[in-house]
A and B are shown apart, each in its own frame.
Chain A
Amino acid sequence: MDKLRTLFLTFLKIGAFTFGGGYAMIALLENEFVSKKKWVDKNEFLDMVAVAESTPGPIAINAATYIGYKLSGMSGAILSTIGVSLPSFIIMFLISLFLDKFLALKLVGFAFRGIQACVIYMILFAGIKMLGQLEKKAFNYVIFGAVVISMVAFSILAVNFSAVFFILICGFMGITYYCIKRIGDKK
């Protein structure tokens, strides 16, 4: 019971104070569960990070469910996941109630037009950072180039082509590439 309460409160704290998304949270989690409480050993933590980053969905949610389950089973998973999402839920719900009125203020409206330019900058630089972390090999650059060009082209030509298809097609291209390489290696 004590462990469950600690799990819930720890993830609540992480959900309430982690700015800057999943990767900032990983450091906090490590500090909390590996260094301080010693509930998770270093290797298991690294496995968890690999799984949380590779599976779909927000990294914070993935990590909370994983650690919660490993430490206290199903109830641990549920409480950790609720804990980590609850602060965002409450904060965003409150913001949703008054954001429109806030934006209607003249100066705030001007500020947000500047902020919109900032969002483009943030997404572009998030992309540049991710590109830098990508393994430098021809396969990655081919997929990257093909997806950027086709996404922009479809958008400009008003063709509906969901990001879901890009993800699935590229996943299967990864598998195809692996199979071809394996056949090649056998020869």
Chain B
Amino acid sequence: MIFLKLFITFFEIGLVSFGGGLGMVALIREKVLMNNWLTEEQFMNIIAVSESTPGPIAVNVATFVGSTQAGILGSFMATFGVILPSFIIILIIAALLKNFMKYKGVAAFLMGIRPAVVALVFGTAITMGLSTLFKMKVIGDEPAADIRAVIIFTVLVIIHLVYKKLKKVAPSPIIMIMVSAVLGIIAYSS
């Protein structure tokens, strides 16, 4: 039953992924790849689309995957699933646990989670980079660097560092996506 599967999977993502935004990317990626709902490349496309459209990434991915797997109803079930845990948890806190953040146990739990969330984001960048830039998914894979992609990645990093040095803020994701699209067209059409 695909509708139930979509609902439960995205409910789980909404329930246990902390950090918001790209902080949630590790678990979302794991679930959509594991269920064969998206390939790594498709997932990356959706992340790029999410970053260029308004709204939370988790909701965007849920809506997209739900729709491609099971149409509008699937889309609704996945989105409802990813939102529901937040809704329930926040209602409980807002209505009953006014001092939620002040409980020592909660603070200690969150203290443990914070570095783990950052690590999951890094781990995702590394494994994603290995699998798409170097075609190395598991040990034993013959590494085959996609030279063009590696060059584009390096150029983006340099642009980021120079921009940050000059303007004191990081360049906006949308500008970087547009730059990378142009670089992609130049690199791959030649």
**CB of B8 closer than 8 Å to a CB of A:** no
- CB contacts under 8 Å to B, within A145-164, are 145-148, 151-152, 155-158, 160, 162-164
Closest residue on chain B to residue A130 by CB atoms: B118
Write out the residue numbers on chain B whose beta carbons fall within 8 Å of the beta carbon of A47: 101
How far, in whole Å, are A66 and B110 apart by their CA atoms in the complex?
19
Write out the residue numbers on chain A whose beta carbons fall within 8 Å of the beta carbon of B17: 56-57, 163, 167
A107 contacts B185, C-beta separation under 8 Å: yes
Write out the residue numbers on chain B whose beta carbons fall within 8 Å of the beta carbon of A160: 34
**CB of B1 closer than 8 Å to a CB of A:** no
A/B interface sample: 10 pairs, CB < 8 A: A54-B101, A56-B89, A61-B59, A62-B20, A81-B83, A92-B50, A93-B64, A115-B44, A140-B114, A167-B17
B44 contacts A151, C-beta separation under 8 Å: no
How far, in whole Å, are A89 and B173 apart by their CA atoms in the complex?
21
A130 contacts B58, C-beta separation under 8 Å: no
- CB contacts under 8 Å to A, within B77-122, are 79, 82-83, 85-87, 89-91, 93-95, 100-101, 104-122
**CB of B172 closer than 8 Å to a CB of A:** yes
A143 contacts B116, C-beta separation under 8 Å: yes
Contact with B16, one of A56, A110, A112, A155 (Cβ below 8 angstroms): A56
Closest residue on chain B to residue A141 by CB atoms: B115
Known: A127-B118, A151-B120. 15 other contacts (CB 8 A): A54-B101, A55-B93, A57-B83, A61-B56, A65-B87, A69-B94, A95-B53, A107-B185, A113-B187, A114-B182, A114-B183, A117-B133, A122-B47, A141-B115, A147-B115
How far, in whole Å, are A56 and B64 apart by their CA atoms in the complex?
21
Closest residue on chain B to residue A97 by CB atoms: B67
- On chain A, the number of residues with a Cβ less than 8 Å from chain B's Cβ atoms is 101
Surface stretch bound by B, among A2-10, A35-43, A168-176: A168-176
Q: Are A143 and B115 CB-contacts (below 8 A) given A18-B54, A65-B87, A120-B133?
A: yes
How far, in whole Å, are A172 and B105 apart by their CA atoms in the complex?
10
How far, in whole Å, are A174 and B12 apart by their CA atoms in the complex?
22
- On chain B, the number of residues with a Cβ less than 8 Å from chain A's Cβ atoms is 112
Write out the residue numbers on chain B whose beta carbons fall within 8 Å of the beta carbon of A88: 53-56, 59-60, 63
Q: Are A177 and B68 CB-contacts (below 8 A) given A55-B90, A115-B180, A162-B30?
A: no
A130 contacts B117, C-beta separation under 8 Å: yes
Write out the residue numbers on chain A whose beta carbons fall within 8 Å of the beta carbon of B157: 121
Closest residue on chain B to residue A157 by CB atoms: B139
Distance from B37 Cβ to chain A, minimum over Cβ atoms (Å)? 12
- CB contacts under 8 Å to A, within B169-190, are 170, 172-174, 176-177, 179-185, 187-189
**CB of B25 closer than 8 Å to a CB of A:** yes
Q: Which of B126, B132, B170 has the most C-beta atoms of chain A within 10 angstroms of its own C-beta?
A: B126
Closest residue on chain A to residue B55 by CB atoms: A88
Contact with A110, one of B106, B112, B174, B184 (Cβ below 8 angstroms): B184
B125 contacts A120, C-beta separation under 8 Å: yes
How far, in whole Å, are A87 and B45 apart by their CA atoms in the complex?
20
**Beta-carbon contacts of A56-92 to B below 8 Å, as 1s and 0s?**
1111111001100110001001000100110111011
**CB of A134 closer than 8 Å to a CB of B:** yes
A91 contacts B54, C-beta separation under 8 Å: yes
Write out the residue numbers on chain B whose beta carbons fall within 8 Å of the beta carbon of A177: 108, 111-112
**Beta-carbon contacts of B28-42 to A below 8 Å, as 1s and 0s?**
001000100000010
